[in-house]
Chain A
Amino acid sequence: MNQLRAISAIARADFLERVRRYGFLLTLLFAVFLGYAAATGRIAVQLGEYRGIYTSAWIGALIAITTTCFISLIGFYIVKSAIDRDRQTGVGQILAATPLSKAAYTLGKSLSNFAVLASMVVILAIAAIFMQIFVGEDPHFDGVALLAPFVLVAVPSMALTAALAVLFETLPVLRGGIGNVAWFFVWSILGIGLPEISGNHHVDPMGLMVVADSMIAGARANIPGYKDSFAFQIADSPVKIVQSFRWQGVAWTWEEILLRILWVGAALAVVLLAALVFDRFDSSRSLAPSWRRPKQPVGELDAIANSSTAETPRQSPATRAPAHLTPLAASGTTHAFGRLVLAELRLAVKGMRWWWYAVAAGLLVAQFAAPLDASRGPILSTAWMWLVLVWSGMGARESRFGTRALLFSSARILPRQLPACWLAGMAIAAVAGAGAGSRLLIARGWHGLVPWLAGAVFLPSLALALGVWSGSGKPFEAVFTALWYAGPMNHTAGIDFTGTASGANANHDALIYFALSGVLLGAAFVGRARQLRSD
């Protein structure tokens, strides 16, 4: 009973802490935006070139799978901070000294995550009701058909997302940027990969196949010449409507309902697994990889700092020589920008281990050794992807580590530090992509180097803008991973920031990337100026 109270107290406090932040409003606005995008046909389910008319069942299913796909992807990044907040604020230390069990803690945090995600589901469910009224393709309102996909498709996938966010936070290797990048791939596998890989549509955590199979069956009966295609996508042109196709929704059997409930059980299992690996805020007990652990415990370091040594015997304040500082001469100050760029460069790569440099060097060598098309395409994009954790600190480091007051009280911080940080990011891109860059220059001259340069300018600009405005590396890690996957990996013209997929239009697209970089850089400056004014 006490544990139940503790779980609900943990969940409630964490939920209240989140919903009282302005960020939560943005979260809800994102949900409203998704609802709007679906209602205006920008997100659509297409069966070949067609769709059925917007019945309650169709609208419910459309918005529910929109919720499942987008909220499980973006929502993960939104909620993956519940344990970190306790770590940063020190509340974790207080909780660790109470009889609270690890399972109760992880369950409470998972429930809070779920509550945040569920609030977005509720917004979208309400949007679905309004959508049917405003679109008006089918005057018959069927509440059960409209809401069932939310309850049976969206809710279990939100429970799983909430639990996985907690698991990621308890695993030291997934707690930071690596976890943020990894989530994109985990999400891809959970959403689409698992049913395809297993060949079994019941192995479907996100519930997309239940809806797809039912719609495909309906289309076969109603659309002449239909060839089993199903696409859930961002629509760039209006979809043709088959007036005779009135899909009435998934005919939920007990077996299917039970399967969906089983995913909630799987979420519970994930939470318990998280409890097993959770370090209870004791970093010395953590399964942290050796490179993340401090080489010396804090107490030991304190002792070193305060110990007597042969060279510097410790004396009492009375006998110790008075503290003295040599005055700094007027010539001791400068506004040399280069030193600051070097300092930012060192700050960006500091903490990276030897194997990180080894992989970066390997990718650089591969750019020289591989055929030019591979070198400037997948290898270059992977070499830049390898920098994601270096770039994701740009603009966000000051907020994340609490050094804003130290930096913002320094002279000319806006015109010096932000450009220095940006140039350091570009320099890192240039070095990591030097193989492809130099080969493009040799093979095609300056003209051929333009798309490469656009990528090297665009990525740090994106990192800086997102970092300054969010105060976190998470948005860049998520956006860059998605861009890398959608662009260079899937060879999508326009989104491929290396320019390879654009072919003959590479330089034209590069100009767009340069312009975008300018906008992003401007946004970063405006954001930082705002911080300087309002801190």
Chain B
Amino acid sequence: MQLTVEKLSKRYGRAVQALRDVDLTLGPGVLGLLGPNGAGKSTLMRILATVTRPSSGRVMWNNSDIARSPDPLRDVLGYLPQDFGVYPNLNALEFLEYLAAVKGITAGAARKRIGELLELVNLTDAAKRPLGGYSGGMRQRVGIAQALLNDPQLLIVDEPTAGLDPEERVRFRNLLSELSGERIVILSTHIVSDVEAVATSIAILAHGQLLAHGAPEALLASVAGRVWEVVMPSAELPTLRQNHLVSSTAHRSDGVHARVVADVAPARDARPLEPSLEDAYLAALATQRNAAAGNAA
């Protein structure tokens, strides 16, 4: 089972280059796709889900081009888009039954699977109520259930935890971990902690370009020895922000505790820290920004 992305580019009109020469090779496991808003994450997801076509490059699923023959992939695909709708007059059970029929799942298998999925997303008690009355979080859970209907080999989830309460978020992350052993899961989000919890590999996209792709350990290694804690009066924080990449701050009784990513200690009393994925992610974005500024200059 392999998904290969080769020199993938997508352009909207003449002005917007959403993706530029993206290369990726994925096997079973969870890929955490990180990037700021507008990085091209959703475009990449839509191409991988066969909902839109690339302008150039190709995506191969088990050596078959998905733009030329999308059905072999669609047969084993589960897709949760970032924005999706539901039919408001159907209830969750009927909506899932409808999509099961569309996906070609037999009646008996669908019935059993839908029961399990409703239980899984905690909607069994609300399953027979019209979707039009569901909250955003409940609809999101219906979306998660439909993505898992056909027991997909490739599961693509775009901002899946948006609208979920913390408990449901943890539950969904656990589910992704459990599923990942036997399939490819692509999780797109801007919530680094979601990726940190489940991803076996991480890709960072910015301005349509792939900045990094590798194991979380490799990304963490890229900022090893470059993360510091500085304690200072709050008045000095703006100056620190101007000169260094500050990944987080916390106000305490002894001043502001700032987490800084820098090649050398940003202050004499700076204390080295264990790097987090968020530090690595912000450092990768900052490096790309600086390179772009350098090129522009």
Contact = CB atoms under 8 A, between A and B. Distances in A.
B98 A533 contact: no
B252 to A, nearest CB: 29
Contacts of B46: 405, 535
A294 B101 contact: no
Given A302-B137, A323-B174, A409-B79, A328 B87 contact: no
A336 interface: yes
Interface in B166-195: 167, 170-171, 174-175, 178-179
A401 B81 contact: no
A332 B151 CA distance: 10
B22 interface: no
Interface in A396-450: 397, 401-413, 416-417
B53 interface: yes
B125 A350 contact: no
Nearest to B172: A323
Interface stretch (B103-111, B221-229, B265-273): B103-111
Contacts of B90: 347, 350
B183 to A, nearest CB: 10
A305 B113 contact: no
A294 B75 contact: no
Given A326-B112, A328-B113, A347-B90, A406 B120 contact: no
A320 interface: yes
A325 interface: yes
B125 A406 contact: no
Contact of B102 (A299, A301, A326, A410): A410
Contact of B87 (A295, A301, A401, A416): A401
A333 interface: yes
Given A333-B150, A408-B51, A325 B134 contact: no
A225 interface: no
A347 B71 CA distance: 24
Interface stretch (A338-346, A356-364, A478-486): A338-346
Contact of A346 (B51, B94, B150): B94
Q: Interface residue tally of chain B, by bracket?
A: 35 or more
Given A304-B126, A317-B170, A401 B133 contact: no
B109 A340 contact: no
A340 B105 CA distance: 10
Interface string B198-232: 00000000000000000000000000000000000
B99 interface: yes
Contacts, number: 171
Contact of A403 (B77, B86, B110, B125): B86
B81 to A, nearest CB: 4
Contacts of A244: none
A394 to B, nearest CB: 13
B102 A343 contact: yes
B151 A328 contact: yes
A350 B94 contact: yes
B265 to A, nearest CB: 39
B89 interface: yes
A405 B157 CA distance: 12
A346 B98 contact: yes
A351 interface: yes
A139 B167 CA distance: 81
B105 A334 contact: yes
Nearest to A406: B84
Nearest to A347: B98
A58 B72 CA distance: 65
Contact of A309 (B79, B125, B132): B125
B125 A333 contact: no
A80 B36 CA distance: 37
A29 B294 CA distance: 49
A45 B46 CA distance: 54
A325 B116 contact: yes
A200 interface: no
- Among A306, A329, A402, find the residue whose CB has the most chain B CB atoms closer than 10 A: A306
Given A326-B113, A343-B102, 8 more contacts: A302-B135, A317-B171, A325-B113, A332-B105, A335-B104, A336-B106, A409-B77, A410-B74
Interface of A: 294-299, 301-302, 304-307, 309, 312, 316-317, 320, 322-329, 331-336, 339-340, 342-343, 346-347, 350-351, 397, 401-413, 416-417, 533-535
25 contacts: A294-B133, A295-B129, A297-B133, A298-B135, A301-B135, A305-B141, A309-B125, A324-B116, A325-B116, A325-B179, A326-B112, A331-B106, A331-B109, A333-B106, A333-B150, A335-B104, A343-B97, A343-B102, A346-B98, A347-B90, A350-B89, A406-B79, A406-B146, A409-B79, A410-B102
